[in-house]
Structure 1
Amino acid sequence: MKIEKRSILTEGNKDIQYTHIQNNSQVICFMFSGSGYTYDKPLFYYSTMVMLENNFDVVHIHYSYNQSELNLPKDELANLIVEDVNPVVKEVIGNGDYDETIFLGKSLGTIPIISMFANDSIYSNSKMIILTPLLQHDLYYKRLLESKNKTLLVIGNVDTHYIPEKVTKLAEKTNFNIIEIVNANHSLDIEQLATSKSITALNDLITDLKDFISK
C-alpha cells in the first residue's frame, strides 16, 4: 500500500489537498467529508477500511468552508464545492488506470456527488454512497431523484434532514437502496447517548456497505 499526500491548484486559484491511498487497484473510491465530520470520524474511518480490505484505491479530498460560504444559495454552494473537488477527481482518474469508480460522501460531502457526479454520463456506471444527505433542501432532493446511478442512501429517522415523504419517494427508485436507521441522528449515532446501539448500527451499516460495493 502506498499513501501520497498531494495538492492541486483549482481554476479559482485555491489549493486543494488530497490523500491518495493506492493498492494498484482498478477500482477507486473518492470520499467527500462533511462539515466538521472528517476522515478520522467513524463513518469515514471504517468505510475507508472496507475499501482497503477489498484492495480498492481511496482518495480523501480535504476542503473546508467558512460560514459565509456555507450560507451561500444552495446552487452556488454546490458549484463552489464541485469546482474544488472536480479537478482532483479528474487528475487522479487521468493519471490512473481505473475500471470502476465509487463516490462516497456524508452530509456536505454528498453535495458534489448529487450535483455533478450522479448526473454526469461519464460516471453513469459509478456507484454512489450517500450518507445523511441534506434532504431539507429541495435542490439536492430533486437532483437525487434525477440520478440513475446505483445508489446506497443511509439516513437516521431523527436526523433533521429526514423528510419521510422524500425518503419514501426516493425508495421507489429501483436503482436506490435506502437504509433508515431507527433513532439515529445526523451523525448516525443512536439517541439518547446509546453507545452500544450506536456501535451495532455502525456495524450493520458497514456490512450493508460491503454488500453494496461487492455487487
Structure 2
Amino acid sequence: MKIKPKQDMYNGISYNFFDNNSDKICFMFSGTGYSYDKPILYYSRLLVLELGYDVIQINYTFAQQQFEQEPQAISNMVYSVVNPIVEDFLQTKPYSHVIYIGKSLGTMPIIDFYMQRPSLIPANYVLFTPLLSLEHTLTNLLDKHAFLAIGTADPHYSQEKIAQLTSHKLSVFENLDHSLEIPSNIALTIQYCQSLMKQLKAFLQIN
C-alpha cells in the first residue's frame, strides 16, 4: 500500500499517520531497538493497510536510565506517552474496530492496560516477542486473547509459560531470536516471516 505517512506531533511526541480513509484503526508501538522500518513491523503495517485500516505509529524514545525502574513503572511510562495519542484518535471519528500491535517494550502498555479493560469498540491485540520473563506480564495475559508471536531463542521465551497461555493464538518459531530472526540463516528467517504474516492475516480476518 503506497500511502505516504503524515507526520505530526501530540504532547511533544511525534507519530506517523497512514490515512486509509477508514473507519478502522491500528496503533503500533515499537520496541527499544526495533523500529517501524524493521521487517516484522514494516510488513505488519502493510498488512493492516491492505486490510483497510488507518495506521498510527507512535515514535517514542527514552533515556537509558529510565529503564532502571521497576517493570510496572516502565510500562506506566510507555502508556503515559502513547495513550493520549490513542485517545485523541479514537475521539476523532467513530472508528468501528481497533488493532493494537506491539513489539517487545511496545507490548507492555497493550498487556498491562488496553487488554485489562473493556474496549468501547471491538479490538484485537497483537504481541510480538512480549516480555514473558516479567512475572506481571504472564499474570496479565492469563485468560485474555491475543495473537502472540515469539521464538524459542528469545531470552524471554519460556515453554512453561507459553503452555499456560491456552486462550491465545500462539505462533512459536524454533530458533528465532528476540528480533524474530535467525541471523545465520536469512533464507529461513524470510520463510518464517512469510508464515508469520499469513498467520497474522488469518487471525485478523477471523477475529
The TM-score with structure 1 as length reference comes to: 0.91
Structure 1 runs not aligned, ≥5 long: 10-14
Q: Deviations over 1:27-50 (max 9, x none)?
A: 111000001100000011100010
Q: CA deviation at 1:123?
A: 5.2
For residue 7 of structure 1, what is the aligned residue in structure 2?
9
Q: Which of the residues 141, 151, 159 maps onto 1:164?
A: 159
Q: Which amino acid aligns with 1:207?
A: K
How many correspondences in the alignment? 204
Distance 1:124 1:160, change over 3 A: farther
Matches within 5 A, 1:88-99: 88-99=85-96
Which of 14, 18, 32 is equivalent to 1:17? 14
In the TM superposition, residue 3 of structure 1 has moved relative to its aligned partner by 3.0
* CA RMSD after TM alignment: 1.3
Say if 1:22 and 1:124 are closer, same or farther in 2 by CA, change over 3 A: closer
Choose the corresponding residue for 1:180, options 168, 172, 196: 172
Structure 2 segments unaligned to the other structure (5+ residues): none
| Alignment partner, residue 104 of structure 1 | 101
**Aligned equivalent of 1:120, options 109, 117, 122:** 117
Give the Å deviation of 1:122. 2.5
Q: Among all aligned residue pairs of Structure 1 and Structure 2, give the percentage whose two residues are the same amino acid.
A: 34
How far the C-alpha of 1:125 sits from its partner, in A, is 3.2
Q: Which residue of 2 aligns with 1:206?
A: 197
Separation of aligned partners in 1, 2:43 and 2:32: 18
Kept in 2, the 8 Å contact 1:119–1:146? The answer is no
* CA shift digits 1:71-109 (9 cap, x unpaired): 210111111111000000001111122100000001000
Compared CA separation, residues 123 and 44, structure 1 to 2 (3 A): farther
- Secondary structure class of the residue paired with 1:35: coil
Query: C-alpha distance in 2, partners of 1:157/1:209?
Result: 19
Contact 2:96 2:122 (8 Å CA) reproduced = no
Cα deviation for residue 2 of structure 1 reads: 6.2
Distance 1:209 1:203 in 2: 10
Shift in CA distance, 4/29, structure 1 to aligned 2, threshold 3 Å = same
User: Once the 2 structures are TM-superposed, how far is the Cα of residue 54 of structure 1 from its aligned partner?
Assistant: 1.4
8 Å CA contact 1:34–1:105 kept in 2: the answer is yes
Counterpart Cα distance in 2 of 1:54 and 1:130: 18
Is the Cα–Cα contact under 8 Å of residues 4 and 20 in structure 1 kept in the other structure? yes
Alpha-carbon distance between aligned partners in 2 of 1:153 and 1:167, rounded to the nearest angstrom: 10
Deviation track 1:107-145 (CA, whole Å, cap 9, x = no partner) reads 000001011101111257311000000011101111111
Hey, what's the Cα distance between the residues in 1 that align with 2:189 and 2:119? 37
Q: Structure 1 residues 162, 123: closer, same or farther in 2, change over 3 A?
A: farther
The aligned amino acid for 1:158 is: A
Distance 1:196 1:123 in 2: 42
Q: Does 1:195 align with 2:190?
A: no
Alignment partners' CA distance in 2, 1:122 and 1:203:
30
The residue type equivalent to 2:8 in the other structure is: R
